[in-house]
Structure 1
């Protein structure tokens, strides 16, 4: 499965074709230890034959080609190139429905087998799913995407499904219990994936897993008009914004990949207001963004000192203004986003206490 076109020799080279496919690897979980029992070992052929019959029934030929691989199988189906995002999502929806049917059939097969041989068969299935280019050589298949699919199937432990998220970026509405992760695959690198809940709940060392939570950073910029008299920068959100329309806010947003908190704050101030700031790293507090049916977004808010004399501007706000600390403290909390007023007062008090 890992051969390259330049490794295909002789007449086989002229037969090699690039194909766009849906590739699936499936493997029986717990098989090796279970098969050591004598009652099982002498009946393994019948068990595997029954499992393959399920696959052939649910993934019929000629649409799918199935290659048995010990206690598992590789399934390949040619698909059209240039499919629309909606078509790709529909493909995944149909596939997940078929996977559920296979798993139900497999449970029945295990119960039936256990009853016949007098030994339990508490087995499950692990799945890896990708789509993309592979090399077809006669009736066989090879290429990087198949190697990756096999590795993803290996990550499907203790059982469940691992789907390449780059290949299937949008989940169908009917898909439940799938979580985004980034898995580190040896010889492949970081692969964004969807994983079923049984896999997502497992402890994975950081060498094999890279989480991708959304983290926010925020800052309020100030300068001292006179010693002890602070001017604070606020921007008014557009009335068209879904969250907090017309409210006053500071500056901030998502933290970028491989970016420190301070780097993220400085980037947002430059991009949003054209300002350079000095982030007072010791003056910070934490906040959370909670919306119905959305993941919790953790955030950290800093106090920042203006650097230079540039005047702020923003194309994304209806108004940008400097407000004195005294005026700010007398303004209603409802004029600001979330708990910004309470949070900022805490930061200002910390700043003043640190100066005394």
Structure 2
């Protein structure tokens, strides 16, 4: 059993003078909590700055029921650690006069590791560390191949497939606060993978249109620097409209009305990769939320004339042609 835990928000918080001079006290209390709930007779605890590696030797040939029961115990222990950690943060913040609004991120796998002197090594350590890194802004990520069934009282977890650097696609369970975060398609896989997208437009009293265009950052692995609308993968048990609204909310920070009767189909084709089907909708903004995104270098409202003057090759795929077709459908209604 391999568990990684890390304090979220620690780096920036620890830069404050009041915090920095008292870090030993904070870390000491944090490690005391881990040792209390992950006792030495069952776990090896290795401190890693503001994180820790927790290892436990398991009996061989466990049944599926025993594996699920093990996960239930671990999740129950994590809940106790979380409660004590929040109490520790509150008490520490009061003692130094500086808020300690911190949380924990967890990664959990089950598999073999190698003992090398006083340390450990192996693929499972690397994978667990990467899963812990995916637990943002906080929460739990569990390797779903290692724990295919969740305990009945485990609460809400979401099935996902995360693409981990140097490892590949890993099926996982994630807590809702992790699932709700925007993750670029390069690092997230839904099963089966179906895409949805929206092109947002606004119309004035004279029926003049403006379109919301977003230019992908130059460091994006897929389609760097290309212009797109907004979209991504459809989740399990989610309607097309709900998926489009979710992506606009989490990627651009805005609410939209999805015109589900105005749509077209598209495909994402990449070398040596499966074809991914998608459906694109026209959308209208709701409210006056200003779009913003850390994954785009430019977001702007373009007049229809400006849009039509942009070369088609600057857009992702056949997006420009698809938008023109959708606008024709809209005007013909």
Query: Taking structure 1 as the reference length, what is the TM-score of the superposition?
Result: 0.54
User: Aligned partners of 2:193 and 2:238: how far apart in 1?
Assistant: 9
State the distance in 2 between where 1:212 and 1:105 align. 36
CA distance in 2, matches of 1:212, 1:198: 20
Which residue number corresponds to residue 185 of structure 1?
164
Give how far 1:137 is off. 2.2
Match of 2:56 in 1: 77
Q: Where does 1:1-356 land on structure 2 (aligned, <5 Å)?
A: 22-213=1-192, 295=237
How far apart, CA to CA, are the structure 2 residues paired with 1:192 and 1:214?
Answer: 13
- Secondary structure of the 2:132 match is helix
1:177 deviates by 1.4
2-structure distance, mates of 1:131, 1:199: 21
Residues 1:201 and 1:58: Cα distance change in structure 2 (over 3 Å)? same
How many residues are matched? Answer: 199
SS of the residue 2:110 aligns to? strand
- Stretches of structure 2 that go unaligned for 5 or more consecutive residues are 195-235, 241-333
So what's the TM-score if we normalise by structure 2?
Answer: 0.58
| Distance in 1 separating the partners of 2:51 and 2:115 | 20
- Alpha-carbon deviation of 1:214? 8.4
- Mind listing any 5+ residue stretches in structure 1 that lack a counterpart? 1-21, 216-293, 299-356
Give me the whole-angstrom Cα distance separating, in 2, the residues matched to 1:105 and 1:111: 10
Cα offset, 1:136, TM superposition = 1.3
Task: State the alpha-carbon separation in 2 of the partners of residues 296 and 184 from structure 1.
Answer: 22
Q: CA deviation at 1:295?
A: 3.6
| Aligned-CA RMSD value | 1.6
Q: Do 1:214 and 1:297's aligned partners in 2 also have CA atoms closer than 8 Å?
A: no
| Structure 1 residue 213 displacement after superposition | 4.5
Supply the distance in 1 between the matched residues of 2:127 and 2:111 (Cα, whole angstroms). 11
Moved more, 130-139 or 201-210: 130-139
Which structure has the larger Rg over C-alpha atoms? 1
CA distance in 1, matches of 2:239, 2:136: 28
Kindly state the Cα deviation for residue 296 of structure 1 after the two structures are TM-superposed: 6.0
Q: CA deviation at 1:110?
A: 0.1
